[in-house]
């Protein structure tokens, strides 16, 4: 039977064959690709707030018709944004940290005033303030009247290292200093934070480990395309062939970042061996884990991973992940944990790749799915007029206190924190 069908198909004129392929492609796109996102969140006021105030959550996500495969989304998103989004004119501030290190804080404040809310943005693995995905978010925020400050990690953003230390996914001490510094400038209840990819790991670990400090300074947070389980994430990016090519590109970027840091040349860091790394895990085994005192790279990854820390977070956190993210398999997204947590909501789209989320026939505009969701969330969390979100924050923390059986002093604190 199959042979008969095949013979009939091969006898069709070539344009008929092309037409059948196009029809099949269209059918597949509408049935398997275009879907409404899943929202994993515990029932209650936060979930209701998200559905009531973020229209994008109620709509189907329409990935770019000719570019919905995960690796294609990841690569073309970077290329298209870099071509279509102009560089941002930031005001640069150099912040000296407690150990003498320096980080660059790039402020985007056009069309804003001193009372405007602000979002701290943490780029990915080797990203900085002019990275295309950062510019996408910066313009999305600025278009709705939100200030932005991009936190460039040590050794990035054009700064040279003042101390022999870079950064890693598990360490949030630098972020802690940045948050405290920015909160001295931004009006109370008007500060948010967003992390992308590894920046999401740093932010997530900050929220989980320094929960009281985070709650004192941040009203809302968001993470995008975070590798929830770092063990599974690194294994996924090493799969042949396309994933591995993406991983090699990132490993090469890490090696280039380190090679620009002259301060390591007179240390015991084996630069020549590190330059030969072909995977992120190789780099982390030879450099990152050792620099931050881990006995083994797997110890570092266990400490950096975020999927098992959601219960410790007490700042409203909205997360965006794609089910086809090549840096993170679907089964590693902590959907069940989000449904049990008090403060975490995870939006999962069927497609989108890693920091992709392209949509439209030709995704040339500054506003894309990722930026629109970002702007809608922070607009309603930080610019609200009715104090609805502040009431939700108090109610969520009361639930957090009861769930974790915290002392009564913590319950009293919920009444005065905002």
The yes-or-no answer on residue 325 being catalytic is yes
User: Band of the pLDDT at 11, cuts 50, 70, 90?
Assistant: low
* pLDDT at res. 405: 82
Instruction: Classify 381 as helix, strand or coil.
Output: helix
Place 414 in a pLDDT band, splitting at 50, 70 and 90: very low
Could you say which of 217, 307, 343, 354 is catalytic?
Answer: 354
Residues of the chain with CATH 3.40.50.1820: 34-228+310-401
pLDDT of residue 175: 98
Query: Does residue 409 carry a pLDDT above 60?
Result: no
197 annotated active-site: yes
Please give the pLDDT value at position 408. 52
Catalytic residue among 197, 225, 289, 341: 197
pLDDT of residue 259: 86
Q: Partners of 147 in the beta sheet?
A: 118
**C-alpha span between 337 and 218 (Å, rounded):** 22
Sign of the dihedral through C-alpha 125, 245, 359, 36: negative
Using a pLDDT cut of 90, give the percent of the chain over it: 78
Strand pairing class (220-224; 118-122): unpaired
Judge whether residue 1 has pLDDT over 80: no
Read off the pLDDT band of 51 (50, 70, 90): very high
CB 334 within 8 A of CB 308: yes
**Which residues are paired to 96 by β-bridges?**
102
What does the pLDDT read at residue 385?
75
* pTM > 0.75: yes or no: yes
Across the chain, mean pLDDT equals 91
164-196: string of b/e by CB count within 10 Å (b at 16+)?
ebbbbbbbbebbbbbbebbbeebeebbbbbbbb
Residues in the chain: 418
The helix/strand count (H/E) of the chain reads as 18, 9
Identify whether the C-beta of residue 325 lies closer than 8 Å to the C-beta of residue 225: yes
Phi-psi region at 337: left, alpha or beta (left = phi > 0; alpha = psi -120 to 50): alpha
Strand-strand pairing, 38-40 and 344-349: antiparallel
pLDDT, one tens digit per residue, over 157-174 is 999 999 999 999 999 999
The per-residue pLDDT for 154 is: 96
- At 407 the pLDDT is 75
pLDDT reading at 19 higher than 60: yes
Mode of pairing for the β-strands spanning 317-322 and 220-224: parallel
Q: Which two tokens stand for residue 352?
A: 């989108």
pLDDT tens-digit profile of 328-341? 999 999 999 999 99
Residue 151, H or E segment: strand 147-152
Report the alpha-carbon distance of residue 191 to residue 182 in Å, rounded.
Answer: 8
- Active-site position among 106, 174, 284, 325: 325
Tell me, what's the pLDDT at 271?
Answer: 86
Q: What is the rounded distance in angstroms from the CA atom of residue 37 to the CA atom of residue 352?
A: 11
The confidence score (pLDDT) of residue 25 equals 87
**Would you say residue 86 has pLDDT above 70?**
yes
Residue-wise pLDDT for 238-296, tens only, equals 999 889 999 999 999 999 888 888 888 777 888 889 989 999 999 999 999 999 999 99
CATH 3.40.50.1820 fits 34-228+310-401, yes or no: yes
Please list the residues that pair with 39 across neighbouring strands: 347
Separation CA 128–CA 199 (nearest Å): 11
């Amino acid at each position: 039977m199959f042979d008969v069908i095949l013979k009939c198909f091969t006898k069709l004129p070539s344009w008929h064959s092309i037409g059948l392929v196009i029809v099949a492609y269209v059918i597949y796109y509408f049935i398997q690709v275009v879907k409404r996102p899943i929202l994993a969140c515990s029932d209650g006021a936060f979930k209701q707030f998200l559905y009531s105030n973020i229209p994008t959550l109620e709509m189907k996500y329409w990935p770019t018709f000719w570019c919905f495969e995960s690796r294609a989304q990841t690569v073309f998103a970077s290329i298209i944004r870099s071509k279509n989004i102009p560089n941002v004119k930031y005001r640069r501030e150099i912040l000296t940290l407690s150990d003498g290190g320096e980080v660059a804080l790039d402020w985007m404040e056009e069309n804003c005033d001193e009372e405007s809310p602000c979002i701290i943005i943490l780029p990915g693995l080797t990203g900085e303030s002019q990275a295309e995905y950062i510019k996408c978010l910066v313009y999305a925020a600025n278009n709705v009247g939100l200030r932005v400050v991009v936190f460039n990690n040590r050794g990035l953003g054009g700064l040279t290292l003042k101390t022999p230390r870079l950064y890693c996914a598990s360490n949030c001490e630098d972020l802690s200093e940045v948050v405290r510094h920015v909160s001295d400038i931004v009006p109370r209840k008007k500060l948010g934070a967003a992390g992308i990819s590894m920046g999401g790991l740093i932010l997530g670990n900050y929220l989980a480990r320094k929960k009281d400090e985070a709650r004192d300074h941040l009203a809302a947070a968001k993470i995008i395309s975070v590798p929830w389980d770092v063990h599974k994430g690194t294994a996924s990016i090493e799969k042949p062939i396309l994933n591995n090519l993406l991983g090699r590109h990132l490993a090469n970027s890490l090696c280039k970042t380190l090679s620009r840091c002259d301060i390591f040349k007179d240390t015991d860091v084996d630069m020549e061996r590190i330059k030969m790394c072909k995977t992120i895990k190789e780099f982390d085994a030879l450099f990152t884990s050792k620099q931050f005192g881990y006995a083994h790279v797997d110890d570092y990854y266990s400490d950096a991973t975020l999927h098992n820390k959601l219960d410790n977070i007490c700042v409203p956190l909205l997360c965006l992940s794609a089910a086809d993210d090549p840096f993170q398999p679907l089964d590693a997204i902590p959907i069940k944990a989000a449904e049990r947590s008090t403060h975490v909501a995870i939006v999962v789209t069927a497609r989108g790749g890693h920091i992709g989320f392209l949509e439209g026939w030709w995704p040339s505009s500054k506003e894309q799915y990722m930026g629109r969701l970002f702007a809608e969330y922070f607009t309603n969390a930080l610019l609200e007029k009715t104090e609805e979100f502040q009431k939700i924050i108090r109610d969520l923390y009361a639930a957090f206190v009861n769930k974790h059986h915290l002392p009564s002093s913590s319950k009293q604190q919920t009444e005065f924190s905002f």
